[in-house]
Amino acid sequence: MSTRTPAPTGTTGRLRADLAATDVVVRHFGRTLVDVPRLHLQPHRPLTVVGESGSGKSLLAHALMGTLAPELEVTGAMRVGEASFDLADRRGRRRLWGRELALLPQEPVLALDPTMRVRQQVAEGAAGWPADRRGALRGADERLDGLGLAHAAGAYPHRLSGGMAQRVAYAAATIGGAHVLVVDEPSKALDRPAVDRLADLLLAHAAAGGLLLTITHDLRLARALGGDAWVMRDAAVVEAGPVEEVLERPSTDYARALTGADPARWSRRWPTVHPAGTGPSGPGVEPGVEPGVEPVVEGRDLRKAYGDQCLFAGLDVTIRAGERWALTGPSGAGKTTLGDVLLGLTPADGGRLRRADRAAGRLQKLYQDPALSFPRRVPVALSVDDTARRHGVDPARVAMLVEQVGLSPDLLGRRPDQVSGGELQRVAVVRAMLTRPVLLLADEATSRLDLLTQQVTVEALMGQVVEDGCGLIVVTHDEALAGALTEHRITLGDDPRR
């Protein structure tokens, strides 16, 4: 389906204003969170700010917009076209919202009012609302149609997929004619095709003369948008320049590490496990196991539906010892469900599933949010020790594993909510490995992590997997990650809502 992206209304014939900000500083109880001396947005030239969480990039965007949380102090000055503003005065810019400045939210599904139909929500942002209701509604319908969402105009937000919700949010935010578009982490909840579609929209906005500031950790999106790129770290900008320069030939170490952490660029692919006798033998490859003989998991004609939506049908899967598989596909396609079915956590609606006898009790899973997989009110160490005790594992081995994944032992004394996501995931790896699993399911295990943290976590995980010779199923929507980690792949279908 071709999507005709409409030119942002209001920018044709208007003075091609630019936006400049100076000495933007955001503080919280004395800690400096953002310190950017100069920022300049020009028409036709998008600016993309990349960095890890905590670098302050999101706060920068909100400081410019005027939507910072009240407990943060902000100082600095901003000029939009001819008008000047003091950043500390939050209310001053309120009248610009919708008309000049527009903000695209991080989680579009949460940003839409669940009790209001899509058409109304988009029309609300129009300049004619509420005086000229009919005109605004017509305008809303036009925009939605241009975005390929005509069929969703009368629906409520809970029926939309992530990508659709993001496009609705775009329509609602820009219908007022704003020519400055600030986009905050747009790809967090989206899969690849949705991100590409969004990139097209944003590019069209910039091409029509609008100003575009994008905050993202997704380097591919940054590359697609073009223009300039900044790398932020710990409140400051460490690298700036045209996108190709910053991403291909970064000059600072940090930027280099960051771009190197993108799975698409990973230089090392982990050694695959070869059938006995044909490849290098090493520690962890179980002697005597002939991978060709009995598969760990075998499924025939598997079928599963969720409500009235069919996730997969007629699916055949054979996973042998030591193999590494990826389950990929857009969100909502049923990858997690398939993984759960293969592990025996959820029954399939139809078909046959067989697991090898030796696999009993030796199937493990890593969760997308590791904090949810540990008992909440108890130190992490207890959970690990319980597992070690249950499986008769020597404490020395526990300590060794903890060291191998790069964690310090005193981290284990904390409760799950006091440990960062990446570190906690590594603890989960240790815990899973204590049972000497034959198959490990990594369910979007690194989707929520920053690039650098993801790299460290994946290294820890793969190190253990290769050493132990255990099989791996990776559920992910990141194609590059799947390609770097696995040899075999199952791709599940399109989201029927699209």
Partner 1 sequence: MSTALHELSATPAPTGAAVHRPRRRSRARRACAAALALLVGFALVGPLVLGDPAAQDLSRFLEPPSWGEPLGTDDYGRSVLTRLAHATRLSLVLAVLCVATALVLGATTGVLAAWRGGWVDAVLRGVSEIFVALPALLVVLLVAALASGGSLVAIYVGIALAQWVEYFRVVRARAGLVLGSPAVEAAGLLGLGRLHVVRRHLLPDLRPLLTTLASLGMVTSVLAMSTLGFVKVGLEPPRAELGLMITESFPFYDVAPWMVLGPVGVLFVLTVSLLGLRDGEDAA
Partner 2 sequence: MAAALSVPDHRLGRVLVRRGLQAVGVALAVSAVCFWVVQRLPGDAAYRIAAGRYGYDLVDAEAAASVRAELGLDRPAWQQLGDWLLQLVQLDLGRSLVTSQPVAEELAYYLTGTLQLAAAALVVAVVVGAGLGVLAARRPGGVVDRFTTAYVASVRALPPFLLGLLLVLLLSAQLGLLPAVSSGGPRALVLPALTLGVGLSGLVATVTRSAVVEVAASEQVRFARTKGLAERRVQARHVARNAAVTIVPYLGVQAVVLVEGVVVVESLFSWQGLGHALVHAVFWRDVPMLQATALVLALLVVAVNTVVDLVGLWLDPRPRALEGVR
The residues pairing with 339 across neighbouring beta strands, listed in sequence order, are: none
CA 164 to the chain's CA centroid = 16
Under the binding rule (CB under 8 A), the answer on residue 352 touching partner 2 is no
Positive or negative torsion for Cα 417, 420, 422, 423:
negative
Per CB under 8 A, which region of 94-102, 254-262, 275-283, 390-398 contacts partner 2? Answer: 94-102
Task: Classify residue 113 by its DSSP letter.
Answer: -
Q: Which is nearer to partner 2, 181 or 246 (CB)?
A: 181
Under the binding rule (CB under 8 A), the answer on residue 201 touching partner 1 is no
User: What does the angle CA 128 – CA 131 – CA 137 come to, to the nearest 5 degrees?
Assistant: 55
For the CB of residue 85, give the shortest distance to partner 2 in the complex, in Å: 16
Q: Which is nearer to partner 2, 130 or 392 (CB)?
A: 130
For the CB of residue 287, give the shortest distance to partner 2 in the complex, in Å: 51
User: CB-hemisphere CA count at 13 Å for 190?
Assistant: 27
Under the binding rule (CB under 8 A), the answer on residue 345 touching partner 1 is yes
Site for partner 2 in 16-75 (CB under 8 A): 65, 67
Cα 204 to Cα 143, 179, 209, 327: the distances in Å are 14, 12, 9, 33
Q: How far apart are CA 206 and CA 335, in angstroms?
A: 35
Under the binding rule (CB under 8 A), the answer on residue 364 touching partner 1 is yes
Under the binding rule (CB under 8 A), the answer on residue 386 touching partner 1 is yes
Beta strands 297-306; 309-319: pairing state: antiparallel
Per CB under 8 A, which region of 34-42, 75-83, 138-146, 372-380 contacts partner 1? Answer: 372-380
Q: How far apart are CA 357 and CA 160, in angstroms?
A: 43
Decide which of partner 2, partner 1, none touches 345; Cβ closer than 5 to 8 Å per partner kind: partner 1
CA 422 to the chain's CA centroid = 14
Look up tokens 């990973």; give the residue.
266
Under the binding rule (CB under 8 A), the answer on residue 333 touching partner 2 is no
Decide which of partner 2, partner 1, none touches 378; Cβ closer than 5 to 8 Å per partner kind: partner 1
Per CB under 8 A, which region of 43-51, 106-114, 135-143, 457-465 contacts partner 2? Answer: 106-114
Under the binding rule (CB under 8 A), the answer on residue 417 touching partner 1 is no
Q: Which residues contact 184 (CB under 8 A, 6 or more apart)?
A: 58, 61, 62, 103, 104, 105, 106, 215
Under the binding rule (CB under 8 A), the answer on residue 125 touching partner 2 is yes
Q: Which one among 116, 293, 372, 399 touches partner 2, defined by CB under 8 A?
A: 116
Q: How far apart are CA 181 and CA 174, in angstroms?
A: 8
Site for partner 2 in 160-189 (CB under 8 A): 169, 172-173, 176
Under the binding rule (CB under 8 A), the answer on residue 212 touching partner 2 is no
Query: What residue type is 343 in one-letter code?
Result: L
Task: Classify residue 68 by its DSSP letter.
Answer: -
Cα 32 to Cα 52, 90, 394, 420, 462: the distances in Å are 16, 19, 46, 21, 37
Under the binding rule (CB under 8 A), the answer on residue 497 touching partner 2 is yes
**Nearest of 327, 323, 326, 319 to residue 356 by alpha carbon:** 319
For the CB of residue 122, give the shortest distance to partner 2 in the complex, in Å: 9
For the CB of residue 434, give the shortest distance to partner 1 in the complex, in Å: 8
Q: How far apart are CA 385 and CA 432, in angstroms?
A: 12
Contact 169, 104 (CB under 8 A): yes
Q: Which is nearer to partner 2, 55 or 161 (CB)?
A: 161
Decide which of partner 2, partner 1, none touches 4; Cβ closer than 5 to 8 Å per partner kind: none
Under the binding rule (CB under 8 A), the answer on residue 115 touching partner 2 is yes
Under the binding rule (CB under 8 A), the answer on residue 358 touching partner 1 is no
Q: How many helices (H) and strands (E) does the chain have?
A: 15, 18
Q: What is the DSSP string of 403-438?
A: HHTT--GGGGGS-GGGS-HHHHHHHHHHHHHTT--S
For the CB of residue 377, give the shortest distance to partner 1 in the complex, in Å: 4
Decide which of partner 1, partner 2, none touches 198; Cβ closer than 5 to 8 Å per partner kind: none
**Nearest of 148, 155, 67, 162 to residue 110 by alpha carbon:** 162
Under the binding rule (CB under 8 A), the answer on residue 435 touching partner 1 is yes
Under the binding rule (CB under 8 A), the answer on residue 343 touching partner 1 is yes
Size of the site for partner 2 (CB under 8 A): 36
Per CB under 8 A, which region of 156-164, 209-217, 220-228, 311-319 contacts partner 2? Answer: 156-164
**Could you tell me the two tokens for 184?**
């905050």
Decide which of partner 1, partner 2, none touches 169; Cβ closer than 5 to 8 Å per partner kind: partner 2
Q: Which is nearer to partner 2, 111 or 442 (CB)?
A: 111
Under the binding rule (CB under 8 A), the answer on residue 190 touching partner 2 is no
| Contacts with partner 1, residue ranges (CB under 8 A) | 343, 345, 361, 363-365, 367, 369, 372-378, 382-383, 386-387, 390-391, 428, 431-432, 435
User: Would you tell me which residues interact with partner 2 (CB under 8 A)?
Assistant: 65, 67, 94, 97-99, 101-103, 105-107, 110-116, 124-125, 130, 151-152, 155-156, 158-159, 169, 172-173, 176, 308-309, 496-497
